Amino acid sequence: MPKSDVKFWHLDAPESTKRLAEWAEDMGSESAVICPLHEGHRRAGKRQPNLKIVLPGKTVDDVDDFVWTWYSECLVQDHVLELFRRAGLTGYEVKPVTAKFKRTTEPPPRLWELVVTGWAGMAPPESGIRLIEKCEGCGYLGYSGCDNPERLIDPSQWDGSDFFIVWPLPKFIFVTDRVAKLIRENGLTGVRLKDPRRLDLSGGFGPGRLSYWMPEARARELGGPLGID
Protein backbone atom coordinates (compact mmCIF):
# COMPACT_ATOMS: atom_id res chain seq x y z
CA MET A 1 0.00 0.00 0.00
CA PRO A 2 1.40 3.47 -0.85
CA LYS A 3 2.32 5.51 2.20
CA SER A 4 -0.12 8.21 1.17
CA ASP A 5 -3.02 5.73 1.51
CA VAL A 6 -2.23 4.64 5.09
CA LYS A 7 -4.75 5.74 7.74
CA PHE A 8 -3.22 7.33 10.84
CA TRP A 9 -4.65 7.85 14.31
CA HIS A 10 -3.68 9.75 17.43
CA LEU A 11 -3.49 7.66 20.62
CA ASP A 12 -4.90 9.61 23.55
CA ALA A 13 -5.92 9.24 27.19
CA PRO A 14 -9.60 9.03 28.21
CA GLU A 15 -11.39 12.32 28.69
CA SER A 16 -11.82 11.81 32.43
CA THR A 17 -8.76 12.58 34.54
CA LYS A 18 -9.93 10.36 37.43
CA ARG A 19 -7.85 7.38 36.26
CA LEU A 20 -4.62 9.24 35.56
CA ALA A 21 -1.60 7.99 37.49
CA GLU A 22 0.57 10.31 39.57
CA TRP A 23 4.32 10.34 39.78
CA ALA A 24 5.60 8.83 43.02
CA GLU A 25 7.11 11.29 45.49
CA ASP A 26 10.65 10.17 44.73
CA MET A 27 10.14 10.48 40.97
CA GLY A 28 11.69 13.49 39.32
CA SER A 29 14.02 14.90 36.71
CA GLU A 30 17.73 15.27 36.34
CA SER A 31 19.34 18.57 37.25
CA ALA A 32 17.41 21.62 36.10
CA VAL A 33 18.56 23.38 32.96
CA ILE A 34 19.77 26.87 33.86
CA CYS A 35 20.26 29.17 30.91
CA PRO A 36 23.20 31.59 31.16
CA LEU A 37 21.44 34.02 28.81
CA HIS A 38 17.72 33.96 29.64
CA GLU A 39 16.32 33.46 33.13
CA GLY A 40 12.94 32.51 31.63
CA HIS A 41 14.47 29.42 30.02
CA ARG A 42 15.07 27.66 33.34
CA ARG A 43 13.33 24.29 33.21
CA ALA A 44 13.46 20.69 34.37
CA GLY A 45 16.02 18.42 32.76
CA LYS A 46 15.55 14.97 31.34
CA ARG A 47 13.23 12.75 33.37
CA GLN A 48 14.56 9.87 35.46
CA PRO A 49 14.87 6.80 33.20
CA ASN A 50 12.23 4.53 34.75
CA LEU A 51 8.83 5.67 35.94
CA LYS A 52 7.59 5.29 39.49
CA ILE A 53 3.86 5.91 39.72
CA VAL A 54 0.88 5.82 42.05
CA LEU A 55 -2.33 4.34 40.64
CA PRO A 56 -5.65 5.92 41.68
CA GLY A 57 -7.62 2.68 42.17
CA LYS A 58 -7.54 0.03 44.88
CA THR A 59 -7.39 -3.28 43.01
CA VAL A 60 -6.13 -4.81 39.78
CA ASP A 61 -9.68 -4.65 38.42
CA ASP A 62 -9.52 -0.85 38.64
CA VAL A 63 -6.61 -0.65 36.18
CA ASP A 64 -7.29 -0.16 32.47
CA ASP A 65 -5.37 -1.91 29.71
CA PHE A 66 -3.74 1.44 28.91
CA VAL A 67 -2.71 3.70 31.79
CA TRP A 68 -1.77 7.36 31.38
CA THR A 69 0.01 9.72 33.74
CA TRP A 70 -0.66 13.40 34.35
CA TYR A 71 2.44 14.07 32.21
CA SER A 72 1.01 12.12 29.24
CA GLU A 73 3.23 9.07 29.59
CA CYS A 74 1.53 6.01 28.09
CA LEU A 75 1.75 2.68 29.94
CA VAL A 76 0.38 -0.72 28.98
CA GLN A 77 -0.29 -3.92 30.88
CA ASP A 78 1.57 -7.15 30.16
CA HIS A 79 -1.20 -8.66 28.04
CA VAL A 80 -1.33 -5.56 25.83
CA LEU A 81 2.40 -5.73 25.22
CA GLU A 82 1.99 -9.39 24.28
CA LEU A 83 -0.70 -8.42 21.74
CA PHE A 84 1.65 -5.83 20.25
CA ARG A 85 4.43 -8.38 19.95
CA ARG A 86 2.26 -11.10 18.45
CA ALA A 87 0.96 -8.64 15.86
CA GLY A 88 4.52 -7.61 14.96
CA LEU A 89 3.87 -3.93 15.62
CA THR A 90 6.88 -1.65 15.18
CA GLY A 91 8.18 1.72 16.28
CA TYR A 92 8.35 1.32 20.04
CA GLU A 93 10.39 0.09 22.97
CA VAL A 94 9.23 -0.47 26.53
CA LYS A 95 10.65 0.34 29.94
CA PRO A 96 9.60 -1.25 33.25
CA VAL A 97 7.41 0.78 35.58
CA THR A 98 7.35 0.65 39.37
CA ALA A 99 3.75 1.08 40.48
CA LYS A 100 1.65 0.98 43.63
CA PHE A 101 -1.94 1.77 44.54
CA LYS A 102 -2.75 4.97 46.35
CA ARG A 103 -5.25 3.48 48.80
CA THR A 104 -4.18 -0.14 49.26
CA THR A 105 -1.13 -2.35 49.50
CA GLU A 106 -2.47 -4.85 46.96
CA PRO A 107 0.14 -5.64 44.28
CA PRO A 108 -0.64 -3.80 41.01
CA PRO A 109 -0.51 -5.40 37.58
CA ARG A 110 2.79 -5.30 35.72
CA LEU A 111 3.06 -2.14 33.63
CA TRP A 112 5.38 -1.03 30.87
CA GLU A 113 6.03 2.49 29.60
CA LEU A 114 5.63 2.79 25.85
CA VAL A 115 8.63 4.64 24.39
CA VAL A 116 7.96 5.60 20.79
CA THR A 117 10.93 5.28 18.41
CA GLY A 118 9.07 5.52 15.10
CA TRP A 119 9.50 8.72 13.17
CA ALA A 120 7.64 10.90 10.69
CA GLY A 121 10.14 13.74 10.62
CA MET A 122 9.60 17.41 11.24
CA ALA A 123 6.14 18.91 11.00
CA PRO A 124 5.98 20.32 7.44
CA PRO A 125 5.76 24.10 6.98
CA GLU A 126 2.26 23.65 5.55
CA SER A 127 1.09 22.64 9.05
CA GLY A 128 1.88 26.13 10.31
CA ILE A 129 4.45 24.89 12.84
CA ARG A 130 7.76 26.72 12.63
CA LEU A 131 10.78 27.31 14.83
CA ILE A 132 10.40 30.73 16.46
CA GLU A 133 13.12 30.64 19.12
CA LYS A 134 16.48 28.93 19.40
CA CYS A 135 18.58 29.77 22.43
CA GLU A 136 22.35 29.55 22.03
CA GLY A 137 22.78 29.55 25.79
CA CYS A 138 20.79 26.45 26.77
CA GLY A 139 19.56 24.89 23.54
CA TYR A 140 15.92 25.79 24.17
CA LEU A 141 13.74 25.35 21.08
CA GLY A 142 10.40 27.13 20.83
CA TYR A 143 7.87 26.39 18.10
CA SER A 144 4.64 28.01 16.99
CA GLY A 145 1.31 26.20 17.12
CA CYS A 146 -0.26 24.18 14.34
CA ASP A 147 -2.99 25.94 12.37
CA ASN A 148 -3.45 23.25 9.72
CA PRO A 149 -3.47 19.81 11.42
CA GLU A 150 -4.52 18.15 8.16
CA ARG A 151 -0.94 18.72 6.99
CA LEU A 152 0.78 17.70 10.23
CA ILE A 153 1.84 14.22 9.09
CA ASP A 154 3.90 14.06 5.91
CA PRO A 155 3.75 10.43 4.69
CA SER A 156 6.95 10.92 2.70
CA GLN A 157 8.87 11.47 5.98
CA TRP A 158 7.20 8.55 7.79
CA ASP A 159 9.53 5.58 8.35
CA GLY A 160 6.72 3.02 8.15
CA SER A 161 6.53 2.33 11.90
CA ASP A 162 3.20 1.50 13.54
CA PHE A 163 3.95 3.90 16.41
CA PHE A 164 5.62 7.21 15.58
CA ILE A 165 5.97 10.87 16.49
CA VAL A 166 6.21 14.11 14.55
CA TRP A 167 8.58 16.78 15.81
CA PRO A 168 8.01 19.01 17.80
CA LEU A 169 5.13 16.98 19.29
CA PRO A 170 6.90 14.16 21.18
CA LYS A 171 3.99 13.65 23.60
CA PHE A 172 1.58 12.97 20.74
CA ILE A 173 1.62 9.27 19.84
CA PHE A 174 0.50 8.55 16.29
CA VAL A 175 -0.33 5.05 15.12
CA THR A 176 -1.31 3.17 12.00
CA ASP A 177 -4.65 1.56 11.35
CA ARG A 178 -3.09 -1.78 12.33
CA VAL A 179 -2.80 -0.52 15.91
CA ALA A 180 -6.29 0.97 15.84
CA LYS A 181 -7.81 -2.30 14.65
CA LEU A 182 -5.98 -4.29 17.33
CA ILE A 183 -7.31 -1.95 20.02
CA ARG A 184 -10.87 -2.16 18.73
CA GLU A 185 -10.92 -5.90 18.05
CA ASN A 186 -9.63 -6.68 21.55
CA GLY A 187 -11.80 -4.09 23.31
CA LEU A 188 -8.80 -2.52 25.01
CA THR A 189 -9.67 0.05 27.65
CA GLY A 190 -8.14 3.33 28.78
CA VAL A 191 -7.40 4.76 25.36
CA ARG A 192 -9.05 6.87 22.67
CA LEU A 193 -8.34 6.96 18.95
CA LYS A 194 -8.60 10.40 17.38
CA ASP A 195 -8.33 11.59 13.81
CA PRO A 196 -5.10 13.67 13.74
CA ARG A 197 -6.74 16.06 11.30
CA ARG A 198 -9.18 17.09 14.03
CA LEU A 199 -6.65 17.85 16.76
CA ASP A 200 -6.48 21.29 18.34
CA LEU A 201 -2.77 22.11 18.33
CA SER A 202 -3.00 25.89 18.29
CA GLY A 203 -0.73 26.41 21.29
CA GLY A 204 3.05 26.64 20.96
CA PHE A 205 5.52 23.87 21.77
CA GLY A 206 8.71 23.72 23.82
CA PRO A 207 9.60 20.01 23.68
CA GLY A 208 13.20 20.09 24.86
CA ARG A 209 15.54 17.79 22.97
CA LEU A 210 14.68 14.56 21.17
CA SER A 211 16.87 12.63 23.63
CA TYR A 212 14.34 13.51 26.35
CA TRP A 213 11.84 11.28 24.59
CA MET A 214 13.79 8.57 22.78
CA PRO A 215 16.77 6.35 23.53
CA GLU A 216 19.91 8.45 23.06
CA ALA A 217 21.29 6.44 20.13
CA ARG A 218 17.99 6.78 18.25
CA ALA A 219 17.79 10.48 19.12
CA ARG A 220 21.29 11.08 17.73
CA GLU A 221 20.49 9.15 14.57
CA LEU A 222 17.32 11.11 13.86
CA GLY A 223 17.93 14.42 15.56
CA GLY A 224 21.64 14.97 15.01
CA PRO A 225 21.33 16.16 11.38
CA LEU A 226 18.39 18.37 12.43
CA GLY A 227 20.07 19.90 15.48
CA ILE A 228 17.38 18.67 17.88
CA ASP A 229 19.12 15.69 19.53
| pTM of this structure | 0.94
* Residue 224, amino acid: G
- pLDDT at position 40 is 83
Looking at residue 33, its pLDDT comes to: 86
Whole-Å CA distances, 46 to 49, 82, 87, 208? 8, 29, 32, 9
Q: 221, 68, 84, 66: which is closest to 163 by C-alpha? A: 84
Distance CA(121)–CA(47), nearest Å, equals: 23
Low-confidence spans in the chain with pLDDT less than 70 = 1, 4
Secondary structure (DSSP) of 85-154: HHHT--SEEEEE-EEEESS--SPPPPEEEEEE--EEEEPPGGGT--EEEE-TTT--EEE---S-GGGS--
- Give the gyration radius of the chain's Cα atoms: 18
d(CA 211, CA 219): 5
Model pLDDT for residues 122-152, shown as the tens digit of each residue: 999 999 999 999 999 988 899 999 999 999 9
Q: Which residues have CB under 8 Å from 75's CB, separation 6+?
A: 21, 51, 53, 66, 67, 68, 69, 97, 111, 112, 113, 114
192-208 tens-digit pLDDT = 999 999 999 998 999 98
Q: Where are the domains of the chain?
A: 3-209
